[in-house]
Amino acid sequence: MSVNFLIHRAKEIQAVIDANASEIEKLDQEIGDGDHIFNVQRGIKLVIELEAVIKDLPISKALNQIAMKVLSGIGGSSGALFGTLFMTMAKGKDIDNGVDYKKAIEIFADGVEAVKQRGKADVGEKTMMDVLIPVSNCLKKGVEDNKDVKEILQEAIEVAEKGMFSTKDLLATKGRASFLGERAKGHIDPGARSSQLMIKTVCESVLNS
Amino acid sequence: MKKFMNSADDFLKESLKGFGAAHQDIVNCHYDPNFITRATPTKEGKVALISGGGSGHEPMHGGLVGYGMLDAACPGFVFSSPTPDQMLAAAEKVDSGAGVLFIVKNYSGDVMNFQMAAEMMQGPNESVLTNDDVAVEDSSFTTGRRGVAATVVVEKIVGSLAEHGGSLQECKALGDKVNKNSGSMGVAFSSCTVPAAGKPNFDIGDDEMEFGVGIHGEPGRRRDKMKSAQEITNELLEAINEDLKPETNEEILLFVNGMGGTPLTELYLIYDNAKNMLDKKNIKISRSLVGNYCTSLEMQGASITLTKLDEELLKHWDSSVHTAAMRWGV
C-alpha cells in the first residue's frame, strides 16, 4: 500500500459511489436524514483533490492529511468516523518503511476498532459496522491462517455483501435510524451499503491487478 | 424544489454572510472554518459558551450568539454536524482562560464531533448534552433521546450564569439541570428539502402528520391522520407531562416553537390551546416564549417545550440578553 495506491482506489471508489448514488440516497431517506450520500461524495472528492499535496509524502503523513480532510470536509457522523479510521491507520507502527498486505490489514483492523469505539456501535446494530467489523475479522483471520491474499480478498468481498444485507432485518439501535424503532426494519442501512461498495471496489481492484 | 438560492454549494456561505452583515453590531462571522462569535471579545475570566450543529435550524445557534447567551456558534452544512476544526478555531477565539462549555444536542454526529474537539483541545472544557425530546421512548437504545428546542432554554439560562461569573463547573451543572427540567415534543405536517438534495426529506400525505418528529424531519412515534389543534396540543402536552411530571402549581416556561413553515398566527393558537390544558391541570405558566427558534428549514410544524422553573432558573431566564434572535432587558 502506497500513497499512489490510496489515490487510485479513491478515484475508483468515486466512480462506484457516483453510479450508486441515487440508491444510497433513497435508503437514507427511508431511515435516515438524507445527507449520507452527500457526505460520502464530498469526502471522496476532497481526498482526490489532496493528490497534489500528499503524493510525495510518507504514507503516515498522507493518511493523517486524509484524516483531517475528511474530518473537516465531511461533517456529520461520517466525517468523525472516517476521520477516526484514517487517523488511527496513520499511527500504524513503521508504516513509512513499507506497507505489505499484512501490514495494510493490521492497520485497517486497528482503524476499524477505533471507529467501533468512537461510534460505540458493534455488529448487529444496523450500521456500517455490520460490514466493517466482519470484513476486518475476515482479513485478520485470513492472515493468521496464512491464506493466499487473493483468497482473503475474495472472502472479504463476500463477507461485506453478507454484512450489508444483514442490516435489512435488523432493528437499529445506533445512528438516526434508531429513532425509528421497528419502522427501520426491512431497510438496508445506507452506511452499510456505501462501505460495502468501497470494500468491494478496493478488493476487486487488487484482485484484478 | 423552490428555494431562495443561487447554487447549493454557496447556500450556507451566502446565508452566513448575510447574517453577519445584518447583525454586525452583535456578531462576527468567520469563514474556513466557519464559526460565529460575538462582535466583542470574551470578558476576562468569563466561561465561554460554544454551541453548534447542522445548519437549517436557524436562528439556533448563530442567532443565539451575543450578550447573555453564546460566545460562539459553529454551523455545519445543512442538517450535518459541524467539525472539530470549527470548534477548535472558535474555542481559540473566545476562550478567555476560564474554560469552554460546549452545548451539544444529542445527535450522534454532533456528539462525536464535539467529543473529538474536546479530546484535541488543550484548555479546560466541559460539555452539556441536551436530550429533551420525549418522543423517543426510553429504552436500552444507548443513542437515547434527541436534543431539540430546550437547547435554546439551556443556552439562555446558562448564558446568564456565565455572564454573571459562574465557573465552568457551575455552568455545566446548571446546563444539566435545565435539560433535566425540560421536555419537548414536535409534530410535522410537511417535509423539508435539504438544498443539496433538491427533494423532500420524506413523504407525507396531505391529510397526515408525523407525531413526535425530529428536527430533521426524521420519523417520530407514529404517522397520524390530521386532528384539531386542541387535540394535537393535548397529545403533545400529555406526552411531555408524562415524562416531566410537573406538580400542581409548579411554575413552568411554556415554549411554543415553530419549525419554519408554520405562521406565528398558528403558533399563538397553539399557545392558547396549551394554556387551556395546563390551566385545567393547575400548572402555572410563569414565563412564555413563542416563535421560530429551533427550525427544520421550511417544514410546517411546531414543537412544545416545557421547562420547570425554580428561583434560580427564573432569575437567569429574566436576565438581560442581546442576540440576533432574542433580546430583552437591554
Architecture per CATH, domain B9-180+317-328, reads as: 3-Layer(aba) Sandwich (3.40)
C-alpha cell, B90? 472558535
- In angstroms, the CA B147 to CA B144 distance is 9
A33 at the B interface (CB within 8 A)?
yes
Residue of chain B nearest A30, judged by CA positions: B202
Contacts of A33 in chain B (CB under 8 A): 79, 201, 216-218
Distance to chain B for A186, nearest Cα, Å: 16
By the 8 A CB rule, do B296 and A33 touch?
A: no
Query: Over chain A, what is the mean pLDDT?
Result: 91
Give the span between the Cα atoms of A167 and A192, in whole angstroms. Answer: 7
Check CB contact under 8 Å for B80 and A76. Answer: yes
Domain assignments of chain B as residue spans, ordered by start: 9-180+317-328, 182-310
Question: Would you call B282 helix, strand, or coil by DSSP?
Answer: coil
Average pLDDT taken over every residue of chain B: 95
Nearest to B82 among A33, A75, A120 (CB): A75
- What is the average pLDDT across A55-79? 90
pLDDT at A169 over 90: no
Distance from C-alpha of A115 to C-alpha of B26, rounded to nearest angstrom:
39
DSSP type of residue B202: S
pLDDT at B141: 34
Nearest CA in chain A to B110: A76
Conformation bin of residue B204: beta by default, left when phi > 0, alpha when psi is -120 to 50: beta
Pairing relation of β-strands B301-308 and B100-105? unpaired
Between B201 and B128, the more confident residue is B128
Cβ partners under 8 Å of residue B240, min gap 6: B134, B183, B184, B185, B304, B305, B306
Closest residue, chain A, to B139 (C-alpha): A173
pLDDT tens digit string along B164-188? 999 999 999 999 999 999 999 999 9
Residue B55 pLDDT greater than 70, yes or no: yes
Contact A9, A205 (CB under 8 A): yes
pLDDT above 70 covers a percentage of chain A that reads 94
pLDDT over threshold 70, residue B150: yes
Does the distance separating the beta carbons of A180 and B219 come in below 8 Å? yes
pLDDT tens figures, B216-255:
888 888 899 999 999 999 999 999 999 999 999 899 999 9
- CATH value at residue A76: 1.25.40.340
Mean pLDDT over residues A138-156, rounded?
97
pLDDT of the residue at B138: 41
Minimal Cβ distance to A34: which of B109, B201, B220: B201
CA B264/CA B105 separation, integer angstroms: 25
pLDDT tens per residue across span B295-330: 999 999 999 999 999 999 999 999 999 999 999 999
Q: Taking every pair of C-alpha atoms in chain B, what is the biggest distance, in angstroms?
A: 55
At A178, is the pLDDT very low, low, confident or very high (cuts 50, 70, 90)? low
Say what the pLDDT of residue A78 is: 81
pLDDT of B80 reads 86
Q: Is the CB of A75 less than 8 angstroms away from the CB of B83? A: yes
pLDDT at B189 over 60: yes
Residue B108: list chain A partners with CB under 8 A: 77, 119, 174-176
* Integer Cα distance of A207 and B3 in angstroms: 47
3-state helix, strand, coil in chain A (%, to 5): 80, 0, 20
Q: Where are the beta strands (DSSP E) in A6-157?
A: none
B182-310, which class in CATH?
A: alpha beta
Full residue range of the structural domain in which residue A106 is found: 3-207
Per-residue model confidence (pLDDT) at position B193: 94
Q: Distance between CA B23 and CA B39 in Å, rounded?
A: 9
Burial of B269 per CB tally in 10 Å (0-12, 13-18, 19+): middle
Cα of A81 to nearest chain B Cα, Å: 8
Mean pLDDT within A122-131? 93
Our count of domains for chain A comes to: 1
Q: pLDDT-derived band of residue B140, with 50, 70 and 90 as boundaries?
A: very low
Distance between alpha carbon B130 and the CA centroid of its chain, in Å? Answer: 9
Positions of E strands within chain A? none
Catalytic residues of B: 57, 216
DSSP secondary structure string for all residues of B214-250 = -TTS---SEEEE---HHHHHHHHHHHHHHHH-PPTT-
* Cis bond before residue B59 (omega within 30° of 0): yes
Cβ distance A133 to A112 under 8 Å?
Answer: yes
- H/E run at residue A110: helix A101-119
In this predicted structure, which of B183-192, B197-206, B263-272 has the lowest mean pLDDT? Answer: B197-206
pLDDT of residue A120: 86
Res A184: pLDDT: 72
Q: Give me the residue from B76, B142, B216 closest to A75, CB to CB.
A: B76
In the structure, what pLDDT confidence band is assigned to residue B139 with cuts at 50, 70 and 90? very low
How many beta-carbon contacts under 8 Å exist across A and B? 108
- The pLDDT confidence band at residue B137, using thresholds 50, 70 and 90, is low
Q: Which of B112, B218, B219 sits opposite A119 (nearest CB)?
A: B112
Q: Which residue of A has its CA nearest to B79?
A: A35
Buried b (16+ CB within 10 A) or exposed e, A83-97: bbbbbbbbebeebee
Predicted confidence (pLDDT) per residue in B270-293, tens digit: 999 999 999 999 999 999 999 999
Nearest CA among B148, B154, B176 for reference residue B54: B148
State the average pLDDT over residues A37-44: 89
d(CA B124, CA B307): 29
* B100-105/B125-130 β-pairing: parallel
Shortest Cα distance from A79 to chain B (angstroms)? 8
Question: Cβ contact (<8 Å) for B81 and A76?
Answer: yes
Confidence at residue A181, expressed as pLDDT on a 0 to 100 scale: 67
Tell me the mean pLDDT in the region A37-54: 93
A71, A75, A173: residue with CB nearest B80: A75
Question: From A84, which residue of chain B is nearest by alpha-carbon distance?
Answer: B116
